[in-house]
Amino acid sequence: MSTALITGSSGHVGSNLIRKLSELDYKIRCIDFDGDHRAYEGFDVELMKGDITNKKTLHDIFSGVDIVFHTAALINLDRRYRAAIENVNIDGTRNVCEAAVENGIKKVVHFSSVDAFYRFPINEPLLEDRKLIDDESGMPYDFSKAEGQRIVLEFCKRGLDASIIHPTSIVGPNDFKPGLPMQAFVDMANGKTKLMPDWGYNFIDVRDLCDTAISAVENGRKGQNYIIGGEYHSYLYIAELMEKQIGRKVVYGKLPEFITYLALPYEYIKSLINKKPRLITLDSIHTAQTGNKVVPSSLAREELGHNPRPIEQTIFDTVEFFQKRGLVS
């Protein structure tokens, strides 16, 4: 029986990996970073205290492990948090790679993001040879994911067997502490988003992402990156799907784009009061406006058997999960 270690195990991807791996012949070890155990309830997992930003805590955690799913990341589009973003996504990734090499890990599946690539031109297919972001003065999250990939590739030259996957926007059930973009979905389902700009994105069901990541353990090539996409849809269409399921309006119309910019001062003041990152920033607006529309994921389909389900099923299961959790009425 192989032992799989999951970093970021209490997060959205981590919780779904636990469910998938539990159905297979794996012993599961999780890094207990924040004491939030909701993702583990009812599952046989080994919890070990640790933090990927503290290398000293990782040696014992990685000892005896065969496979590492490195999902831990700080997703934040507020530039004031640049240092924290880089500490987790860059330094943390370096620590994970070093611990993997030191402990002879057989395979690392590194979770990057399509945000690691330059977005333009957005109407041309997003393929694995798209240039990685190298502008350190740009969006901290995007640069950190690109730099994390460069670190993984450097360790591959030192003998690490790692495959890199780039999901699009991750949606789906079993998210016990919603962040971006799932909190936006919860707010939308609860009718808090009265108007919505006519923006869209490519969405991938977290369960399909995990299936493909697990396939990468056996089928992923060393040092190869794989783009993992689903379907491109507008947020207004997502709202329509929610309305059919919930039985009431959740979005009442289209919001002119310039109105979104007027919310920036309000978001800034609110963040100072509640001491939380801003959800609406120039970077988050730019990200929403420039989602790549053509994400064929051909390489992942051919080599990893990637087979995303329809967005309609994803949204139904997601809303149902949040309703059961009492987060959507």
Domain boundaries, the chain: 2-177+202-233+292-310
- What's the whole-model pTM score? 0.94
pLDDT in the model for residue 3: 98
Q: Please name the helix (run of DSSP H) or strand (run of DSSP E) that holds residue 273, with its range, or none.
A: helix 264-274
CATH architecture of 2-177+202-233+292-310: 3-Layer(aba) Sandwich (3.40)
**∠ CA 119-238-271 to the nearest 5 degrees?**
70
pLDDT in the model for residue 167: 98
pLDDT in the model for residue 320: 97
pLDDT tens for each residue of the chain, 329 residues long: 899 999 999 999 999 999 999 999 899 999 988 888 999 999 999 999 999 999 999 999 999 999 999 999 999 888 989 999 999 999 999 999 999 999 999 999 999 999 999 988 888 999 999 999 999 888 999 999 999 999 999 999 999 999 999 999 999 999 999 987 798 899 999 999 888 888 899 999 999 999 999 999 999 999 999 999 999 999 999 999 999 999 999 998 888 887 888 877 877 787 888 877 777 887 787 787 778 889 999 999 999 999 999 999 999 999 999 999 999 98
- What is the C-alpha to C-alpha distance for residues 228 and 306, in angstroms, rounded to an integer? 8
- What is the C-alpha to C-alpha distance for residues 252 and 194, in angstroms, rounded to an integer? 5
What token pair was written down for 11?
Answer: 């997060």
- What is the C-alpha to C-alpha distance for residues 323 and 317, in angstroms, rounded to an integer? 10
Helix (H, G, I), strand (E, B) or coil at 126: coil
Task: Find all residues with CB under 8 Å of 111, minimum gap 6, and list them.
Answer: 8, 13, 69, 70, 71, 73, 165, 167, 213
